[in-house]
Amino acid sequence: MGHRWQLSLIIKFVANQLTISADKISGQQIQIIIVDLAKYLFLEFETVADLFSGTGAVSYLFKLHGKSITYNDILKSNYYIGEALIENGDTRIDTFSIRNILNRKNDNYQTIIADHFKDIFDAPSENTWLDRIVQNIYFYFDGDESRKAVLFWAFFQACIIKRPFNLFHCKNLYMRTKDVKRTFGNKISWVKPFDDYFLKFAQEINHAIFDNGRHCRATRGDQIDSNRKHHPLKSKYNRWVDKSRIRDTFIELIDYHKKSHIIISYRNDGIPPVDESLKLVRQFKRNWKVVASENYKYVLSTNHSSRRFCSLVGTDAWLRFVCPNVQLSGIGHSMLLYS
C-alpha cells in the first residue's frame, strides 16, 4: 500500500503586518487557487492541516472534497469558526435558542465593548447589544462548545456585515453616521438592526454544517505543532510578526512538516522574500516549482507594486505540472504543506 499523503495549509501574514489586515481577502478565490494548484500539480493527499486557517474558507472546501481536516488558528474568534464549520458535523442551533439569546435581558451585564470601543466601530446602542449577546451566548451554552461556536459564527457575521468595507481596520464609525450624499458603501446594511442579521446568519449556518465522514477537528495555537487540542498562550509575543526571527521560524516550520508536499504562496513584498523562501524549501524538498501570476492587488492596499502572486511548491514526490494561466486577485499570504 502506498504512502498516504497529508495536505497542510498555512495562511501566513506579512511579518510587518500586526493587525488583521486592511486588505480584503476573498475566501472563494483562495479556495479556487489552492484546489487548482493541487489538481494541476497532480498532488495526492488524504488529510489537510490548515495551520493558519483564518475564516476557514480553504478548510471548508477540502472538507467538501471529503478530506480529513485539522483547522488551526491562534485567534479565539477564528478557532470558534473552525469549531462551528470544520470540527462540527451535525450540531445545529434551533430557532427557540436563537430567540432566547436575542430576548434575554437584565441589569447585570458587563459593559466591556461599550466601555472600550465607544465611537470606534458601532453606535452606543449597538455596543450595548454586542455586550448583551456575547454574555447571553455564554449564559445558555457555556458548556456546549459546538453550539456556542455556531452562535459565535453568526455573531461574527452580523458584526462584519455592519462594517464599512466589512472590515475592522480603523476607527470609522463616522462613515455610517455622517449625513452626506453617498456614492458608495452598504448604507442599507449599516442601518439594519443587529437582531435581524444575527437571526439570519444563525439560520444560514445550519445549512452549511455537514459531516463528510472523515475525522475533522479544530485547534488553537502555535502552527509548528498542531497536535494538541488547546495550546497555552504564555504571552502576547508572536514570532510570526518578528522580522528578526521570521527566517528561523520558517525553517522550524518546514522542518516540522518536512514529510509533506509544501506550497508557500506569497505576495511579492512578503517577508522573507520569495527567493529566500524558495531556498528554505529547497533545503528540505528534492523537487520544486515556482508558479507566478500578475495583476494581483489587495482591495484597499495603497502599495501599487504588490501585484505579483507567487506559489512555491516543494515535494519529494515526482512533480508534474500542467497549469493554465489563471488570474489571481485578493489572495492572502499562504503556505500549504501537502503530505
Per-residue model confidence as pLDDT tens for the chain (339 residues):
344 444 544 433 322 222 222 233 334 444 455 555 555 555 677 887 787 788 888 788 889 888 888 898 888 999 999 999 999 999 999 999 999 999 999 889 999 999 999 999 999 999 999 999 999 999 999 999 999 999 999 999 999 988 877 777 788 887 887 777 766 656 778 889 999 999 999 999 999 999 999 999 999 876 555 444 444 444 467 777 788 888 888 888 888 888 877 777 766 777 778 788 888 888 888 877 777 665 555 555 566 555 566 777 777 776 554 444 433 332 333 333 333
Q: Long-range pairs for 29-33 at CB < 8 Å and ≥24 separation?
A: 29/328, 29/329, 29/330, 29/331, 30/57, 30/58, 30/331, 30/332, 30/334, 31/57, 31/58, 31/60, 31/61, 33/265, 33/311, 33/326, 33/328, 33/331
Q: Which of 183, 208, 233 is the last residue of a domain?
A: 208
Q: Is residue 120 situated within a structural domain?
A: yes
Does residue 189 share a domain with residue 78?
no
Are residue 67 and residue 132 in the same domain, yes or no? no
Q: Say how many domains are in the chain.
A: 2
Residue 103 and residue 84 share a domain: no
Residues 186 and 257 in one domain: no
Statement to judge: residues 10 and 58 lie in one domain: yes
Residue with cell 522580522: 243
Is 330 strand, coil or helix?
coil
Where in the sequence is the domain holding 43, given as residue range(s)? 6-89+217-338
Query: What pairs with residue 292 in β-bridges?
Result: 310
Helix (H, G, I), strand (E, B) or coil at 140: helix
Q: Is residue 1 part of a domain?
A: no
CATH of the domain at 23: 3.40.50.150
| Residue 232 and residue 309 share a domain | yes
Residues 167 and 100 in one domain: yes
Within a 10 A sphere around the Cβ of 28, how many other Cβ atoms?
10
